[in-house]
Amino acid sequence: MKTPSPTSAPTGEPTSYDWLLLGLIIIIGGSSFSMIRLAVETIPPAIVGVGRLWVGAGILYFLMRMKGRRFPPFLVRTQNGPRLHTAWVWMMAVGIIGNTIPFLIFPWAQQYVESGLAGVYMAFMPIWTLFLAFLFAGEALTGRKLIGFIMGFIGVLILMGPEVVSGAAGTSLLAQAAILLATFLYAVSAVISRRAPTIRPRVFSAGLLLCAAICATPALMLAEFDAYAYSWRSVLGVIGLGIFPTGLGAFLIIILIKRAGAGFMALANYLTPIWAVVLGAMAFGERLAPQVFVALSVILLGVFISQRKTKLPALETGDGTAGEIAPMAAKQ
């Protein structure tokens, strides 16, 4: 029996190979929070964020060149003089909003928030996306989507607990709010990606990560360098973040959307947060409060209701690059 081509168009029911790809994407995406926790044990958050971006950019540039793709010229000539190429404008905007800022937020926040809880907050990202798509991308906000959005917010209130109602501003609560902000920025970048001109997914992913890495690098001036204090576990955590969720994860998403379609890819919305919780429990002995599982159920139910019978659901899967590459891959 002939093995389907990784880049073949979606036809019929997903194959066992498609399910395998989906499983890998879920494992890779959901593992990013545990890798961040390992990395920040001994490495400053800014170095973690910048390091993973440069590793991920290198991986995706290599995969882009393997396919024979090249970056567009940075500047183009016009009657009014040279200007920035349109593709670079979009890649820069998406890279900064969806990667530079969130990838610096998460390492800081996960010094105070367990990896499983951070993964649960990512379940809210599709809810952000549908609301932003209504405001800025001309997508209808149906009653079903509105119900899903409200349920998502209820889930977040359950997650934060009574502290958010009483106004107690502890470090943990601020860290959770920062993670929620990062998921919002992921969603913003995903909506921007949908409005971007058609750009090859491998070029788009490598370009946005390169822009993100360059723009994040100045944050190193705020970090203390003491390489002798870095444990091998933390170093492997940074490298793993760059190779897997930031680099290979985006590449696998491109393949899966081309093979099985955007709707099948959306299944990762439900399973990635669950895997993040399970891995946090197995790797670090995290025992999250019962309210976390109640909140996760409410949020995921809201995602299910909002995306039911839609042709192109939100596709964010636990890492910023995923939400940005999915719309671009679906256009091809």
Q: What integer pLDDT is reported at residue 71 of this predicted model? A: 95
Higher per-residue pLDDT: 322 or 149: 149
How many Å apart are CA 324 and CA 326, to the nearest integer?
6
| C-beta separation of 277 from 35 below 8 A | no
Report whether pLDDT(325) > 80. no
Residue 12 has pLDDT above 60, yes or no: no
**Predicted confidence band of residue 135 (pLDDT cuts 50, 70, 90):** confident
pLDDT band at 61 (very low <50, low <70, confident <90, very high): very high
**What's the average model confidence in pLDDT over 39-46?**
96
Give the pLDDT score at 165: 46
**Number of other CB atoms surrounding residue 102 within 10 Å:** 23
The pLDDT value recorded for residue 171 is: 62
pLDDT at 300: 83
pLDDT in tens, 234-269: 999 999 999 999 999 888 888 888 888 776 777 777
Q: How confident is the model at residue 9 (pLDDT cuts 50, 70, 90)?
A: very low
**β-strand 75-78 against 81-84: which pairing, if any?**
antiparallel
**Largest Cα span, the chain:** 63
DSSP state for residue 272 in the 8-state scheme: H
Collapsing DSSP to helix, strand or coil, 76 comes out as strand
Position with higher pLDDT, 34 vs 328:
34
Mean pLDDT of the residues in the chain: 83
Sign of CA dihedral 32, 33, 37, 38: negative
pLDDT at 207: 95
- Phi and psi at 270, nearest 5°, equal -85, -30
* Whole-number pLDDT of residue 314: 47
pLDDT higher than threshold 90 for residue 218? yes
Neighbouring C-alpha atoms within 13 Å toward the C-beta of 308: 13
DSSP labels, 198-247: P--HHHHHHHHHHHHHHHHGGGGGGS---GGG--HHHHHHHHHHIIIIII
Residue labelled with tokens 């470090």: 171
